[in-house]
Chain A
Amino acid sequence: MLELDCVSRFYGHNLVFKDISCAFAGGGITLLLGHNGAGKSTLLRIMAGLTRPSSGTARFTAPSPKIGYLAHSTFIYPALTALENLRFWHQAHCLDKSHDLFKALERVNLTARAHDRAGTFSRGMAQRLNLARILLLEPDILLLDEPGAGLDTASQALLRKEMLDARIRGACIILVSHNIAHDAPLADRILLLEKGGLAYDGSPAFFSAPEVQACCA
């Protein structure tokens, strides 16, 4: 579904990572790990097409895949209500008119706040509204950049459930997280970015405890 071929990225003269090559298929969750500054978010943005690689290519093998991108920024207009925000993204994506926006809000437990301005929402509620936006899209590729940051336990459980549903649907999910204990059990594959390259690419079963400790340190 998504292929990276010798992708490198520099910021000025500073190397972030070099020659990253890997492919991602549908129906799996990949956990992307690394220290702060290792380039996880940059790599995710390259996958989403939001940042150009300095060299190499990132390409989709499926024709016109729908991409869902959930990051620190919520893409929400604070002066619009929750429902108006969803309606805007629904129209902008030219989605089928049969989509029930209230149902999407119901899935993230925001029905009662549908007509409240998003600017009055807490960080967690705003992120749930952002999740509702993603759910509307039913993305083929779901890119999640520390999506659990700022979410309470219930919202994290909701996010986890939606990730698992997306995997069953056949979506390719790539998750950046520092919460390894929480997210590693979900993953089918782990990528570790370290020292400007891909230090590990494989099953969580072979991702040994010392490496996990080193990564968490």
Chain B
Amino acid sequence: MLRMTLAVFRKDMTLTLLRGNGLAQALLLGLLLVFVFSLSQGIGENLSPRNAAAVFWLSSAFCQVLIFNQLYALEEVNNSRLGLLLVPQPLQAVWLGKALAGFVLLLLAQCVFAPATIVFLGQSLSGHPGPAASILLLTDAGMCALGSLLGALAQSQTARESLLGVVLFPLLTPLLLAGTGVCAQALGGASGEADAWIGVAAAFDAIFLAAGLLLFSFLYTGDE
């Protein structure tokens, strides 16, 4: 299973980063969100750290939807999905490979969103970055586990973008709350409860990982 996971991961990274199926659209959407929120500030005003962190995670969530739509669309070009279904390996390898690829792509996008949030929304890294880094990885892991699962569900639907968004965002709420709460502290917001939020994120990661392992093969196999 591991070899197939790595094969899917490598193929998706090659196609996304090197072969023109790039991150540009997802990055632009995220950056646009940060920029539009920066327009809501008057001259000399700054967004509160909590609001700025919320904007950062909102950008990440929208970016993630586009990333997983694109990753699963790669399999639809010449019906490669059928080829993957015929591989005598657990189908969860596809879910895991795509979740890993999405995780790396989302982290790359956040490397752009984070400085943009600081610059456009007038923030500074005055808090402890340690918990923020932990919550970033934990929240991204949960978002990608769920995104990879629901990306497979949405792929067979006509209104795939809207369906993915509609189903995904309510389920992501606990992770986004945790990410916003801890990242706000890194931006100089009121400190406290970081450990509790990290616990919440870890718990939802476990739920989404288990859901992915259990449900993916049912969703991806589909049947007409």
Contacts from A to B (Cβ < 8 Å)? 11, 48-52, 64, 66-67, 69, 71, 73-80, 84, 88-89, 91-94, 126, 133
Contact = CB atoms under 8 A, between A and B. Distances in A.
A94 B90 CA distance: 12
A75 B7 CA distance: 15
Given A76-B78, A78-B77, A80-B15, A48 B4 contact: no
25 contacts: A48-B86, A50-B82, A50-B86, A51-B223, A51-B224, A69-B83, A73-B79, A73-B80, A75-B79, A75-B83, A76-B78, A77-B78, A78-B78, A79-B15, A79-B19, A80-B15, A80-B19, A88-B7, A89-B83, A91-B6, A91-B10, A92-B8, A92-B84, A93-B88, A94-B3
Contacts of B15: 77, 79-80
Contacts of B7: 88, 91-92
A88 B11 contact: yes
B11 A77 contact: yes
Interface in B125-176: none
Contacts of B223: 51-52
Contacts of B82: 50, 69, 71, 73, 75
Nearest to B3: A94
Contacts of B85: 49-50
Given A80-B11, A92-B4, A94-B4, A75 B88 contact: no
B1 to A, nearest CB: 9
The prevalent SS among residues of B at the interface is helix
A133 B103 CA distance: 29
A92 B89 contact: yes
A75 B78 contact: yes
Interface in B11-26: 11, 14-15, 19-21
Contacts of A50: 82, 85-86
Contacts, number: 74
A2 B19 CA distance: 41
Which 6 residue pairs spanning A and B have beta carbons closest together?
A73-B79, A91-B7, A75-B83, A79-B19, A92-B7, A94-B3
A51 B7 CA distance: 25
Given A75-B78, A80-B11, A92-B7, 14 more contacts: A48-B86, A52-B223, A66-B88, A69-B82, A73-B78, A73-B82, A74-B79, A78-B78, A80-B19, A84-B11, A88-B10, A92-B8, A93-B87, A94-B89
A103 B78 CA distance: 24
A88 B83 CA distance: 11
Contacts of B219: none
Nearest to B93: A92
B74 interface: yes
A75 B74 CA distance: 11
Contacts of B86: 48-50, 67, 69
The residue in A11, A64, A94 that gathers the most chain B C-beta atoms within 10 A of its C-beta is: A94
A79 B83 contact: no
A88 B19 CA distance: 15
Nearest to A64: B88
B4 A91 contact: yes
